[in-house]
Amino acid sequence: MKTIVSYLLVFTFLVVRTTAQVPVVTYVTKVALAVESKLYVDTLVNDELMQVISEKIRIALAPRNTLTVSERYLIVSNAGHSNRHAEMLYSVFIDSNAKSAWKKLPAQLSLPSYFPFNCLLVDTSLQPGSKLTLQFRLASAPEIIQQCAFERKEITPEIQQYRQKSGNDRTTDSILANALKQTGIMQNGFAKPVGSTIEMKAGNRLELLLKTRSLNNDSSIHFRLCGTAKPADTTWKKSGHLLTLTNLPANDSFFLEMKYDGLSSIKKYKIKVAPFWFQRTWATAMFVLGGVLLFIVTPFQVRKTRLRNEKEKRQRDEEQLRNAQSQLNPHFIFNALNSIDALVHAGENEKATEYLAHFSDMMRNTLRNGDIVFTSLTEDIAMLEKYIRIEQLRFDFRYSIDVDPSLDTDAIEFPPMLLQPAVENAVKHGVSGMGNTGLLSIHLLRDGNDLLVTIKDNGNKKHLPKTKGTGHGILFTKERISSLHKLYKYEIGYETEYLPDNTRVRFHFKNWL
């Protein structure tokens, strides 16, 4: 075999741009051959073995003693045994299995300068890793005078370097790819992959620098990105030696598949995108715990706030009620002192002294119960009767207090002195100038769960106030009724009816009993 190799005259190759635009490798041995492979490696392993990459391979006789036009001029010199071309036989083997019997070489006519030169010897497909062997011998001798082997190499694109960035690099993709291809030096920030898995941070862009090979169309790289939880994306996209992947969802994994154009062999890398901080287990646990705590604490806090607001509102309403109640004392005291003054000026000193005694007794009770919101109905009727007797000393009118026997006055709570301003108005504006003919009557009746109180005097129009319902006592009464409604939701009706021969004031305490 070494003897055969020593007869090698020329061993080279070219990529010929033909009308069909297919690559042709032409080299000359004892038998000059032209090899068509859509993708091939531009180096030979040894004198007898050429590595091809694409599946399809065609081999034909190359022109001899002919000027071949290509990217450069190659003058093919005379090959050995050229004068015995008609006596030469050839045979084809694939992985040591004979694909054809010995055949004669086809006759070479006036051949064009493009493939297949009308002298086709082999037109077949090779599986990855398979080897096609082409042997030549003379018909008159069994010795092999030339043997050429073509091995299909299975190659896939490989990631040489990678980096991930949170923002866009100022260097363009093309400049970066050319810098790597020309210098072969690892670029700033790039790292070599370890294994077939690349891990990246969430929100980053991934830049992959693919390994360059000496291929005639090396830049024709196809890729596709498939999610692990999604069906495979069968759409292949083209890329150069710099592949940039952006907008990869966080907390997910992907398979990056790459292959060369015209090849079926696929290289697969796994890309794992880390989760954002809020997608991590501890963050999820904190969110869940926070939600649970919020679910538990919020109603409690809302209830606490509501109770505090209700308490504050109740305190304000109670204070307002006490203020309205306390305003009756100065009003009552002023009127009482006027009455005492009138008795003194009238010379009725004994009545004035008795009036003053009863008045001081009332004042002691008033001061003692000043902050009390409710007292018993029995105590309030007693206080009311004391006041009426005091006024009776001055005006000498008649009065009556009738209480429904079904009312348990000791058990019924009642706002202290709520009726006093109405009684005072009945005395002052009703019976004050009538003497013994004046009559003041008070009736307390049960109506189901309601308490009805009527204050009536037999005064006539000439005793009516100039402005109805605007006295201080009436205003204080209405203010207290309003506060009782806000504070305790009590419904208390209050109305005054002026008739020619009497005046009536009605209190309707709904659901009081």
pLDDT tens-digit map of 260-306 = 877 788 999 999 999 988 888 888 888 888 888 888 888 888 888 88
pLDDT at residue number 504: 94
pLDDT at residue number 223: 92
pLDDT at residue number 22: 45
The whole-number average pLDDT for the span 162-188 is 62
The whole-number average pLDDT for the span 427-446 is 92
Q: Which residues pair with 200 in a beta bridge?
A: 273
Query: Total structural domains in the chain?
Result: 3
In a domain, residue 284? The reply is no
Domain shared by 177 and 237, yes or no: yes
Q: At 456, is the pLDDT very low, low, confident or very high (cuts 50, 70, 90)?
A: very high
Domain shared by 410 and 455, yes or no: yes
If you count them, how many residues does the chain have?
Answer: 513
CATH of the domain at 235: 2.60.40.10
Long-range contacts of range 178-182, CB-CB < 8 Å, 24 or more positions apart?
180/209, 180/212, 180/241, 180/242, 181/212, 181/241
Domain shared by 337 and 357, yes or no: yes
In a domain, residue 187? The reply is yes
The whole-number average pLDDT for the span 425-439 is 90
In a domain, residue 290? The reply is no
Residue 71 has pLDDT above 90, yes or no: no
Domain shared by 173 and 91, yes or no: no
In a domain, residue 350? The reply is yes
Residue 68 has pLDDT above 90, yes or no: no
Residue 31 has pLDDT above 50, yes or no: yes
Residue 121 has pLDDT above 80, yes or no: yes
In a domain, residue 130? The reply is yes
Contacts of 168 (CB under 8 A, 6+ apart): 205
pLDDT at residue number 26: 59
- Give the end of a domain, one of 239, 263, 278: 278
Rounded Cα–Cα distance for residues 510 and 512 (Å): 5
Are 55 and 126 within 8 A, CB to CB? yes
pLDDT at residue number 72: 29
In a domain, residue 485? The reply is yes
Which is more confidently placed, 101 or 472? 101
Domain shared by 264 and 356, yes or no: no
Show the domain range for 9. Answer: 2-152
Domain shared by 29 and 61, yes or no: yes
Helices (H), 346-456: 349-368, 377-395, 420-426
- Give the end of a domain, one of 106, 126, 152: 152
In a domain, residue 320? The reply is no
Give the range among 54-58, 140-144, 283-287, 469-473 with minimum mean pLDDT.
469-473
Tokens describing residue 294: 């919020």
pLDDT at residue number 449: 94
Domain shared by 164 and 236, yes or no: yes
pLDDT at residue number 20: 38
In a domain, residue 206? The reply is yes
Domain shared by 504 and 430, yes or no: yes
Rounded Cα–Cα distance for residues 370 and 321 (Å): 11
pLDDT at residue number 1: 38
- Output the CA–CA distances (angstroms, integers) from residue 407 to 80, 296, 372, 452, 491, in the order listed: 145, 49, 22, 11, 19
CATH of the domain at 476: 3.30.565.10
Domain shared by 168 and 260, yes or no: yes
pLDDT at residue number 11: 32
Domain shared by 144 and 181, yes or no: no
Domain shared by 126 and 210, yes or no: no
- Pairing of β 97-98 and β 88-94: antiparallel
Contacts of 103 (CB under 8 A, 6+ apart): 89, 90, 91
Which is more confidently placed, 60 or 74? 60
Q: At 440, is the pLDDT very low, low, confident or very high (cuts 50, 70, 90)?
A: very high
- Output the CA–CA distances (angstroms, integers) from residue 315 to 312, 322, 372, in the order listed: 5, 10, 14
pLDDT at residue number 369: 65
Highest mean pLDDT among 336-340, 365-369, 420-424, 452-456: 452-456
SS3 content of the chain, % helix, strand, coil (to 5): 30, 30, 40
- Give the end of a domain, one of 152, 168, 202: 152
How many C-beta atoms surround the C-beta of residue 21 within 10 A? 8
H or E segment to which residue 330 belongs: helix 328-345
Q: What is the pLDDT of residues 134-171, one digit of tens each?
A: 998 998 888 988 888 888 888 889 998 898 887 555 55
The whole-number average pLDDT for the span 466-479 is 68
Domain shared by 96 and 146, yes or no: yes
Q: What is the pLDDT of residues 210-231, one digit of tens each?
A: 887 766 555 578 999 887 766 6
pLDDT at residue number 293: 85
Are 496 and 469 within 8 A, CB to CB? yes
Q: Is 307 helix (H, G, I), strand (E, B) or coil?
A: helix
